[in-house]
């Protein structure tokens, strides 16, 4: 069966592929038995329908038609981020021809752990939208300080939200919070909310704060298009404003918020989003500035900013998003006005892996890398150390992601921005012109580039450093053997990655021997602290060579081996 149009299967966590039916039969939507019972289920499935370019019909009528299809129970299961348009398993649903893409983009309040989610018993929220590529209509003159207004959803930001990879569920929680906040804000004739529609995103440079802000505005313009007819985004760089209008910044800030309040009152059916980057330039702590006898223009700018926030507080169709690299320097009164302060961390292992995987997949789409027979597995799958990880290069990519923990260029700490550019920069540097390149070769070339640009990361060591530096050539030269995978080794591979259990035992023996020599004893029994040291060293080596998420098992077996001599490989483990 040909792959559905617009779908990149490598971007999905495929646990049970509906297209892999035996005999080449057309795929089907899963049955209730495939996905679990729909009884006593709660939650909402958000469906986004993007229309084809040039569509001039009514989006509300289109939404109603799609809702009729779902009410007819023609669609009884959906998969997250999977495009239903062009998928043969939805061929009988008769979606309108004007729909270019139809995807389930979010499951809120559901706890299904299946590749598909049943629609029965869940609320289905359909949002139809058309991407905008026009300029904003006339705006208040003072708002021109923020550049041109950008109508949303914008074609230039299409896919930015989906491509942004963050740890945990920051994106979903942020969207849910902002939707509720805007809905709680009331409407004409209703009491307004006492909560500021002001959100602060802080974190180190390169963590995706600005992209997250723009993506949030784009997502809200789709998710709330039944409440607001249109959405406009304004972007203001605080540092640029302060430097460009030095001495006049307070007046300019006041005029921006005055115009913002007037425009929002003139168009109550329109949502206005103001993004202020580098807010620390305008909202720096006044107390610290006074202590340092700094220029009072910055203090006046902070006062004007706080007054401006209060000026639009009761305007239910105004949302303000601020970003900061230095949240510790922000004024206490500004922090107090923020309804939510979200700290965006540097990418952890799972996020680093997924950023690299998506970057490689985009190079596959652009034909820089050959289309693989099997796509790179998701991080979730690499945690289990399944055989396909060793066939697709998943374990090698995970090892690379692990080595990037704190090993950026020129000794700097890695950022999400740098990791997202790493694959393309590395291949541009390492790949021969017009040379064919597989995914596995690409991962190896990226690893080589990282070793050159960043220096090879060495395992963390504590007491083991002293032991290794002790005059013991065997310990200094010890290297782990790679093991070629075979189907019969599945359980062993699942737990031990590419390392023989004998190698782990030998490491333990060497360290026991070295600790014994240091203490001047033979048949030495290591102390609990020394066992912890051995355990940490084995863990680093084991994880470096593709181990999965089973280190508790490794720890127990290792301690049994050290204390009782019980082999780490148990009967029936291979």
pLDDT of 398 reads 87
d(CA 112, CA 382): 21
d(CA 519, CA 158): 65
- CA nearest to 93, candidates 104, 81, 85: 85
Over 70: is that where the pLDDT of 463 sits?
A: no
- Which pLDDT tens digit goes with each residue over 177-216? 999 988 887 654 455 677 889 999 999 999 999 999 999 9
Task: Work out the average pLDDT over 225-250.
Answer: 87
Highest mean pLDDT among 322-326, 470-474, 496-500: 322-326
- Which pLDDT tens digit goes with each residue over 328-376? 999 999 999 999 999 999 998 899 999 999 999 999 999 999 999 888 9
Over 70: is that where the pLDDT of 120 sits?
A: yes
pLDDT of 29 reads 60
Task: Work out the average pLDDT over 530-550.
Answer: 68
Summary count for the chain: helices (H), strands (E): 22, 11
Range in 70-79, 126-135, 357-366, 387-396 the model is least confident about: 387-396
Confidence category of residue 233, pLDDT binned at 50, 70, 90: very high
For residues 116 and 327, the model is more confident at 327
pLDDT of 404 reads 86
Domain ranges of the chain: 9-129, 141-343, 349-454, 463-564
For 382, 512, 533, 559, 566, the CA distances from 528, given in Å and listed in that order, are 32, 12, 9, 10, 18
d(CA 346, CA 209): 11
Q: Does domain 141-343 have CATH number 3.90.850.10?
A: no
For residues 512 and 387, the model is more confident at 512
């Amino acid at each position: 069966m040909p792959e559905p149009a617009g779908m990149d299967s490598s971007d999905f966590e495929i646990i049970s592929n509906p297209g892999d039916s035996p005999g080449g039969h057309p795929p089907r939507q899963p049955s209730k038995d495939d996905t679990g019972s729909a009884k006593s289920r709660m939650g909402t499935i958000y469906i986004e329908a993007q229309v084809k370019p040039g569509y001039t019909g009514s989006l509300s009528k289109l939404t109603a038609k799609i809702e009729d299809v779902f009410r007819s129970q023609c669609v009884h299961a959906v998969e997250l981020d999977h495009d239903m348009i062009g998928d043969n398993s939805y061929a009988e649903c008769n979606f309108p021809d004007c729909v270019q893409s139809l995807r389930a983009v979010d499951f809120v309040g559901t706890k299904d752990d299946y590749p598909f989610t049943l629609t029965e018993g869940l609320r289905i929220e359909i949002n139809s939208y058309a991407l905008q590529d026009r300029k904003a209509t006339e705006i208040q003159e003072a708002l021109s300080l923020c550049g041109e207004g950008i109508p949303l959803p914008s074609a230039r930001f299409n896919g930015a939200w989906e491509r942004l990879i963050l740890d945990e569920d920051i994106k979903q929680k942020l969207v849910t919070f902002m939707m509720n906040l805007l809905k709680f804000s009331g409407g004409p004739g209703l009491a307004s909310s006492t909560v500021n529609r002001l959100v602060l995103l802080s974190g180190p440079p390169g963590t995706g704060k600005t992209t997250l802000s723009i993506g949030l505005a784009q997502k809200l313009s789709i998710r709330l298009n039944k409440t607001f007819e249109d959405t406009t985004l304004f972007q203001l760089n605080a540092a640029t404003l302060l430097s460009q209008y030095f001495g006049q910044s307070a007046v300019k800030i006041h005029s921006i918020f005055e115009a913002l309040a007037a425009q929002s009152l003139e168009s109550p059916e329109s949502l206005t989003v103001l993004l202020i980057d580098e807010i620390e330039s305008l909202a720096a702590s006044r107390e610290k500035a006074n202590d340092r006898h700094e220029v009072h223009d910055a203090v006046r700018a902070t006062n004007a900013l706080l007054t401006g926030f209060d000026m639009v507080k009761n305007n239910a169709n105004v949302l303000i998003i601020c970003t900061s690299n230095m949240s510790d320097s922000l004024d206490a009164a500004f922090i107090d006005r923020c309804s939510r302060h979200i700290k965006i961390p540097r990418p952890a292992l799972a996020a680093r892996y997924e950023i690299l995987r998506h970057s490689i997949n985009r190079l596959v789409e652009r034909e820089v890398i050959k289309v693989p027979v099997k796509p790179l597995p998701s991080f979730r799958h690499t945690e289990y150390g399944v055989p396909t990880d060793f066939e697709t290069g998943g374990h090698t990519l995970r090892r690379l992601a692990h080595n990037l923990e704190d090993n950026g260029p020129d000794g700097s700490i890695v950022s999400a921005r740098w990791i997202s550019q790493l694959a393309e920069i590395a291949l541009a540097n390492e790949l021969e012109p017009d040379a064919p390149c597989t995914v596995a070769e690409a991962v190896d070339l990226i690893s080589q580039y990282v070793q050159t640009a960043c220096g090879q990361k060495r395992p963390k060591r504590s007491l083991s450093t002293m032991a290794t530096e002790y005059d013991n050539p065997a310990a200094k030269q010890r290297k782990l053997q790679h093991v070629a995978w075979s189907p019969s080794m599945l359980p062993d591979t699942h737990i031990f990655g590419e390392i023989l259990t004998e190698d782990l035992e030998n490491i333990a023996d060497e360290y026991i021997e070295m600790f014994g020599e240091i203490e001047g004893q033979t048949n030495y029994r290591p102390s609990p602290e020394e066992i912890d040291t051995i355990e940490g060293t084995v863990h680093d080596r084991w994880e470096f060579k593709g181990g999965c998420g089973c280190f508790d098992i490794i720890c127990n077996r290792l301690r049994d081996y050290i204390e009782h001599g019980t082999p780490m490989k148990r009967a029936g483990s291979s």
